[in-house]
Structure formats: structure tokens, C-alpha cells
């Protein structure tokens, strides 16, 4: 009886870990999709006066502080 409980507890732990990994993969896929979409947009319609700073987790689009030339 105890062996069955141990197996069930192990299975629940493995399922929780799998769900966590799938959620992380989804977040990374979403970030990659956002980066690809922004890159495509920049290639087809350059945005004058914007500074683009990509990083691993997200994209930051910041307006320059000075006047546009």
C-alpha cells in the first residue's frame, strides 16, 4: 500500500514539473514570437526615432530623450 502511495506521489511530482516546464517553454516561445514580429516590422517599416534594445526576456522600446533630427 505504501509503495503505491510513493509511486503516486512521484507521478504527481513529475506531472507538476512537466506542467512547469511546458509553461516556461510557452513563455519563451511567446517572447521569441514577439521578437520575430518586431524584427519583421522593423525590416518592412523602419520606426524613425525609436531605440530598440532586445534582451532574453522581453523587448524594450524606448523613445529617445532628445529631439528628433
- Residue 67 falls inside a structural domain: no
Number of domains in the chain: 1
Work out the angle at residue 18's Cα, subtended by the Cα atoms of residues 16 and 22, and round it to the nearest 5 degrees: 120
- Residue 69 falls inside a structural domain: no
Q: What is the mean pLDDT of residues 23-45?
A: 80
Q: Is the pLDDT of residue 31 over 60?
A: yes
- Residue 68 falls inside a structural domain: no
Q: Is the pLDDT of residue 62 over 50?
A: no
Q: What is the DSSP letter of 54?
A: E
What's residue 50's pLDDT?
Answer: 57
pTM of the model: 0.46
- Provide the residue range defining the domain that includes 39: 2-62
Q: What is the mean pLDDT of residues 21-28?
A: 87
Amino acid at each position: 500500500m505504501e509503495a503505491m502511495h510513493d509511486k503516486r506521489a512521484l507521478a504527481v511530482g513529475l506531472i507538476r514539473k512537466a506542467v512547469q516546464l511546458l509553461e516556461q517553454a510557452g513563455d519563451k516561445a511567446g517572447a521569441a514570437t514577439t521578437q520575430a514580429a518586431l524584427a519583421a516590422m522593423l525590416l518592412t517599416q523602419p520606426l524613425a526615432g525609436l531605440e530598440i534594445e532586445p534582451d532574453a526576456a522581453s523587448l524594450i522600446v524606448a523613445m529617445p530623450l532628445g529631439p528628433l533630427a
